[in-house]
Structure 1
Amino acid sequence: MLIIAAIFLIFMGRFAYIAATGHIAGVDLTKRSNKKYEGDSVIRAQRGTIYDSSGNVLAQDTNAYAVYAVLSHDYVTAGKKPLYVADKKKTAKALSKYLPMSEANIYKQLTPKNKAVYQVEFGSAGQNLSLSIKRKIEKQHLTGIYFKESPTRLYPNGTFASHVVGIAQTPKGSEDSGSQDLVGVMGVEKYFNEQLTGQDGYKNLTKDSYGYSINQNKNKVKAAKNGQDVYLTLDSRMQSYLESLLSKVNKKYQPASMNAVLMNAKTGEILAASQRPTFNASTKKGIGDVWRDTLVEDGYEPGSVLKIATLSAAIDSGHYNPDQYYKSGSVLVSGKKISDWQTAGWGMIPLNQAFARSSNVGMVKLEQEMGAKTWKSYIEKFGFLKKTGIELPGETAGTLQYERPLDQATTSFGQGINVNVMQMLQMTSAIANNGTMIKPQILAGVGQEQQITPIKAGKPIKASTAKKVMQNMEDVVYKDYGTGQVYQIPGYKIAAKTGTAQITGPNGGYLTGASNYIFSVSGIAPADDPKYILYITMKQPGNMTDSAETILSQVFNPMMKRALEYTKEAEKDKQQQVKVASVLSQSTKDAQKKLEAQNLKTTLVGSGNLVVQQLPKAGSVILPNQRVLLMTNGAMTMPDVNGWSKNDLLKLAQLTGIDVDIKGSGYAYHQSLAVNSLLDGVKQIKVQLK
């Protein structure tokens, strides 16, 4: 009895200690209990959307699904009902309808040699599945087939400025760490990763012993902060057309690479930009061919297009006598022979023909007249050897080989100096803007779209110099001895400069052969009132069945013509534009009457009788017959969107804050939510276009 009493006292003392201190074996029992009955639920932040200049989506968040199959017979319900794949042949047949795998390969995956395997996946074929495919598979009611959800990035346009827009993806190994955040690894996605990335929130729940949430009023919630949207200067119409032209030329002539950029000559806005090889951002097909954005990351010798800077420098520094004759063909510099592309030359010709003929010897003469020091100062004034600062990652500053007289001479026709595409556009802008150089811009705003204003990158030459160089660029196109006659576009005056740059071989020296060059053209149009600059390069065409100028003109001419025609349409539209009147706090009847008097369409979002919000906002300048959405007091209700354009639907999403999932192209004909349904609490509306 004494022993039992002693043991009892020991237990009593132990219980008293635990009750008083709340600890046992170094564990805080209060925290352990809270942990058992509390749980954190992550509220995922949405990555910002990337838009073009017209509000078209270039990149946005969505969810992707990966399918997997449980094979272990241990996975059953309490009643021993199988939760594993019981009928493998039926499962393989059903999955083969929705996965890019044959029925035989799926069955093979479902029957591994190792019988102890718990579950299997289906490689890349079973990953990145859309919600619609997931639902179709689920409708087959396949036992043992499950899905893992993960955030992914949707690029609805496929091959569309892919290296410029870039991609965002979940880093490898992030699933093991529990993170599913998307990270930009290329292009704008990478450059603005910090702004695009949101901050996840959380919900701290109090649960009962069965895991159900209790005490809702005591739950702690921190809202997620979505990433900021990014707006680009790209014009989808121009970009799509440029992609199609490049693809056609690339397929026919098979160059090692191509670059093409269309820029607004006055503002520096990049309206279209692409490269070859490229990739489909949606499927990732071709992404392994070239990872770099060659528009900014690649330095190369520009060849004769740099003669724009050489001629500008000679005229501006007072070392140009257009009527002076020189002997073309070749010239010796430090004992080395420099030749014209037409090695026999054209005999004794005046300097005013050197540029249009693209004479290397003529440019060397200009460099020698200026002197190495003066010529180098203009190289720097034109922004070479430093980054333009365009909002794209990895821009190279370029290099210059300039120690010997021979180096100094060869730079006059674009050798011995490395540049990037944006630097060449920036240089050409000085000719289009009376000597003022304009910085190329790809960004139209973070958080909200802003009006683009030109950013001056310097004034390397006088206005009078720019006009003389412009005339020489016109001679390239219109003189019978000009190298760019193929770039004439009926109805428009074109100024251009062609280029043929040698390529350094792996063992030093330049490659030989008819196609071992970087061929290029830089053009301004219209020459008498510059609106666009188009710069194209093509490296080593593998199937050179036409001249370089003929090949490049198949991109240059239709692209520049399309841009100029759009300008005509825009100027015509501008004369008809309407400034939206303010109708806030007015009755719906008066508001509609006022806007309809401006030849605008109106739609009410709500059942009230007073306007509380309008989109487009008051003061916005839009075209006649555009739709103005009016939100009324009272509950928000779903309008009839039949016949609406994609742009109208995006306005609805912006006004209501509800995600509008748009499928197809054309105009709306089906909506998932009935007309006049309440919008309160609705998270997504699906609209089909045709």
Structure 2
Amino acid sequence: MKKKTNKRQMRARHPERNRQRFGIFLFWLSLVALLAFVCRFAYVAVVGSVDSKHLAAYRASQYARKTALQAKRGSIVDRNGQAIAEDASTYTIYAIIDQNYTQNGKKLYVSDKAKTAAVLAKYLPLSEAKILAYLNPKKKTFQVEFGAAGTRLSLSTRKEIEAEHLPGIHFTDSPSRLYPNGVFASYTVGLTQTNATNKNQPLVGVMGLEKEFNAQLAGTNGYQTAQVDNYGYRLPKAKVKTKPAKNGGTVKSTLDSSLQSYLETLLASVQTKYKQASVTGVVMNAKTGEILAAGQRPTFDPSTMEGLEQGSSWQNMLVEDTYEPGSVMKVFNLAGAIQSGTFQPNTYYNSSGVKVASTTIHDWNHVGFGEIPFSQALPRSSNVGFVHIVQQMGEANQAKTLKDFGFGQKTGITLPNEATGGYNLSNAVTRAVMGYGQSINVTQMQILQAATAIANKGTMVQPRVVTKVTDPDGKVINYKRKVVGHPISATTAETVLDEMRDTINKPYGTGVTYKIAGADVAAKTGTANIANPKGGYLPGETNQLHSLLAMAPASDPQFIVYLTLKQNTAMTTPAVNVLNTIYHPLMTRLLALDAGNTATPAAETVTVPAAVNDSLTAATAALNKKALTASVVGTGNRIVQQLPAAGTQALRSARVVLLTNGAMTMPDVSGWSKSDVLKLAQLTGKKFKLQGAGYASAQSLKAGSLLGTGTVTVTFQKTD
């Protein structure tokens, strides 16, 4: 024990030696740590990675910015190649007002707010005072926007503002779709919406051709990667990696812009004046099946989405809606009876009524026409006559007729969500009322397809809205005339056309209202009760579907026109007269296009010249040279849009509305027709309320005032 105590005492008496040993220990420990650090540093320098992370790549990722190269969505064009839906960007303007935002002493914020407000007021539908209010917010903020007035700006407006070189003024852009004609076969052309699930495809088609050919129209984004500094500026000599974007393809439609615009004007006029639930119109090339014009009301403007408010229908009435067509079906039942050899044109029948099972069926006028031959059943639109006709055909021939004409089957038109329709022949009463178009559900495309067999000597062709599609890789698919059946012979078709002529030309025909002097037209009118979802039919004459199927020239039909008017609730004007306000001018124009069957002198129409991108002076001079009237909207000096579109036919002295690149202002519309004001509404996308009849005599917004979000009321008055 004593020995151990002595050793501790010996150690305590040599503190210097202990410190020396501890110092040596620390030296070697530090040396080992330094050596380890040097080795680790050397390893990192040579290998270039830490914890499986490559340092160069990691550094590059910290300072690299990957910018998407936006692919252009392909265009939809009319039969002449004129764009009716095309890629565009809209822009939102914003102002940086934080005075700390500078670079190298340069002010990057709005330094002169008064000047900025004065300049922006020339391009935005806002007053200087309102812009100043935005630039002087109550709370401190880095940047401000200008409300709805500062959104959805065009590229031309952005460039003009940028040319003013206003410090602190910037723009954000977003993919958009330009529909230059506004309301223009909207349900057929379709609509795009922002795609929230796929950033590489910012827009996706949700309706019409936009949806049907979305894969061909949608492009694929590219990208560009480069190193930037903390402020987002590209570093000097930075390497740039680029993958080009692949733009979308092109869809060439069958639509004729001139006819489509004219049809839209006619439909809009009816919609404004009468209180119908819906009205539709289609023009088809009888030989090829091409849809030249197609419209419906209610409708919407794809540029502004006006008309697609909550609760509005997104359905294309022409292909997605099924309905009971009424007496137009008599055309095809007559054709089936003639083809089957059961039609007896010279045999007389009592048209006062016919009993089927326990049901007595009367004619549409409730009393009939007395004893008449079956040859008058179609012109008079006798329901009783057609009950007899389908009974004489027999169930097998009736079923064959419906099948051969394509009813209960999709036509295959290249539009989404096409309905099938259907019928049931198991009941004697149902078979009887099908003779005059009740208890059978069809689509408008099925009616048009079946009508081609009558027009083409028995050859039935498929309806088409597209002639050619080019995909993003350049592959071309052509949609040519397609024969889908031969339900009747040429002799049968000729006989049916003669009966349809009598509908218009005979004094007892139901279509005498639609007669055009000097024109050879074959037609069939239709009136159908509308089915009640709860069973049976809706009561009253206002709950009916009125229609007209017309072919011209009847000797060799080139055009088929089909019009429908549903639930003419106002009943201030007979439905046939309402439809005639569409049919008469439309068919007159069609006949003018057909060589040798001119209903309107060709000298009265001229081709509208292209004015877009021209100076205001040059555009006005070009229109005056064509004897057209130029009306200017806006304060700019360059034309950005026009209606009617370039290349379309217009009557001499017709008004061409020109939209300039300046602030959108209200023109003086005194003396304008309703169709001219509707052009103004389509072109500007603003809300207009039309009152009265005749020509414009007053307007609620003074000429030269900015067109805002409010409704402009234009009053019309007849002149003696």
TM-score range, shorter chain: 0.7 to 0.9
**Of 130, 133, 157, the match for 1:133:** 157
CA contact (8 A) 2:212 2:414 kept: yes
- Please name the residue that 2:525 is paired with: 498
1:428 Cα offset (Å): 0.8
Residues 1:22 and 2:48 aligned together: yes
- Please name the residue that 2:246 is paired with: 225
- Please name the residue that 2:80 is paired with: 54
Q: 1:89 to 1:295 in 2, by over 3 A?
A: farther
1:170 Cα offset (Å): 2.5
Q: 1:396 to 1:66 in 2, by over 3 A?
A: same
Structure 1: which amino acid aligns with 2:210? E
- Please name the residue that 2:374 is paired with: 351
Distance 1:411 1:225 in 2: 53
Q: 1:482 to 1:222 in 2, by over 3 A?
A: same
Q: 1:91 to 1:509 in 2, by over 3 A?
A: farther
Structure 2: which amino acid aligns with 1:76? Y
Structure 1: which amino acid aligns with 2:568? P
Distance 1:137 1:207 in 2: 27
- Please name the residue that 2:446 is paired with: 423
- Please name the residue that 1:684 is paired with: none
Residues 1:164 and 2:178 aligned together: no
SS of the equivalent of 1:371 reads helix
Residues 1:534 and 2:561 aligned together: yes
**Of 78, 84, 101, the match for 1:76:** 101
State the TM-score, normalized to the length of structure 2. Answer: 0.74
- Please name the residue that 2:626 is paired with: none
Distance 1:3 1:564 in 2: 105
Distance 2:143 2:236 in 1: 35
Structure 1: which amino acid aligns with 2:172? K
Residues 1:514 and 2:538 aligned together: no
Distance 1:123 1:275 in 2: 34
Residues 1:7 and 2:28 aligned together: no
Structure 2: which amino acid aligns with 1:468? T
CA contact (8 A) 1:519 1:537 kept: yes
1:21 Cα offset (Å): 4.2
Distance 1:570 1:43 in 2: 53
1:2 Cα offset (Å): 3.1
SS of the equivalent of 1:295 reads coil
Distance 2:456 2:411 in 1: 17
Distance 1:476 1:311 in 2: 14
CA contact (8 A) 2:250 2:469 kept: yes
Greater Cα shift, 144-153 or 201-210: 201-210
Alignment of 1:215-254 (within 5 A): 219-254=240-275
Q: 1:508 to 1:97 in 2, by over 3 A?
A: farther
CA contact (8 A) 1:151 1:180 kept: no
Greater Cα shift, 556-565 or 125-134: 125-134
Distance 1:362 1:36 in 2: 84
**Of 453, 470, 485, the match for 2:512:** 485
**Of 352, 356, 363, the match for 2:386:** 363
**Matched positions, count:** 583
1:484 Cα offset (Å): 0.2
Residues 1:257 and 2:281 aligned together: no
1:232 Cα offset (Å): 1.1
**Any idea what the Cα deviations from partners look like across 1:38-63, whole Å, max 9, x if unmatched?**
55443322222221112222121122
- Please name the residue that 1:459 is paired with: 486
Alignment of 1:131-210 (within 5 A): 131-138=155-162, 144-171=168-195, 173=196, 179=200, 181-205=202-226
SS of the equivalent of 1:555 reads helix
Alignment of 1:383-422 (within 5 A): 383-422=406-445
Distance 2:364 2:543 in 1: 14
SS of the equivalent of 1:5 reads helix
CA contact (8 A) 1:402 1:416 kept: no
CA contact (8 A) 1:161 1:272 kept: yes
Structure 1: which amino acid aligns with 2:253? L
Structure 2: which amino acid aligns with 1:35? S
CA contact (8 A) 2:201 2:220 kept: no
Distance 2:342 2:117 in 1: 79
CA contact (8 A) 1:150 1:180 kept: no
Residues 1:295 and 2:318 aligned together: yes
Q: 1:435 to 1:402 in 2, by over 3 A?
A: same
Structure 2: which amino acid aligns with 1:342? N
- Please name the residue that 2:503 is paired with: 476
**Of 396, 399, 417, the match for 1:376:** 399
SS of the equivalent of 2:84 reads strand
**Any idea what the Cα deviations from partners look like across 1:523-550, whole Å, max 9, x if unmatched?**
1101111111000011112332222212
CA contact (8 A) 2:201 2:221 kept: no
SS of the equivalent of 1:261 reads strand
CA contact (8 A) 1:518 1:538 kept: yes
- Please name the residue that 1:320 is paired with: 343
- Please name the residue that 2:464 is paired with: 441
Q: 1:308 to 1:568 in 2, by over 3 A?
A: same
**Any idea what the Cα deviations from partners look like across 1:370-402, whole Å, max 9, x if unmatched?**
222321221111111111111111111112243
CA contact (8 A) 1:329 1:342 kept: no
CA contact (8 A) 1:267 1:452 kept: no
1:69 Cα offset (Å): 4.2
**Of 56, 69, 77, the match for 1:43:** 69
Alignment of 1:565-604 (within 5 A): 565-568=592-595
CA contact (8 A) 1:66 1:127 kept: yes
SS of the equivalent of 1:518 reads strand
1:456 Cα offset (Å): 0.6
Structure 1: which amino acid aligns with 2:212? Y
Greater Cα shift, 250-259 or 433-442: 250-259
Structure 1: which amino acid aligns with 2:452? S
1:502 Cα offset (Å): 0.8
Distance 1:101 1:401 in 2: 62
1:117 Cα offset (Å): 5.6
Distance 2:272 2:204 in 1: 33
**Any idea what the Cα deviations from partners look like across 1:288-336, whole Å, max 9, x if unmatched?**
3442221111111111101111111111112211122222133232312
Distance 1:196 1:451 in 2: 16
Q: 1:420 to 1:507 in 2, by over 3 A?
A: same
Greater Cα shift, 225-234 or 141-150: 141-150
Distance 2:73 2:457 in 1: 42
1:457 Cα offset (Å): 1.3
Structure 2: which amino acid aligns with 1:147? F
CA contact (8 A) 2:102 2:109 kept: no
Instruction: Give the unaligned 5+ runs of structure 2.
Output: 1-26, 599-608, 610-617, 624-637, 648-720
**Any idea what the Cα deviations from partners look like across 1:611-664, whole Å, max 9, x if unmatched?**
xxxxxxxxxxxxxxx9xxxxxxxxxxxxxx99999xxxxxxxxxxxxxx99765
Name the Cα RMSD after superposition: 3.5
CA contact (8 A) 2:201 2:218 kept: no
CA contact (8 A) 2:200 2:221 kept: no
Distance 1:243 1:546 in 2: 21
1:339 Cα offset (Å): 2.2
Greater Cα shift, 504-513 or 432-441: 504-513
SS of the equivalent of 1:355 reads coil
1:431 Cα offset (Å): 0.5
**Of 277, 288, 291, the match for 1:267:** 288
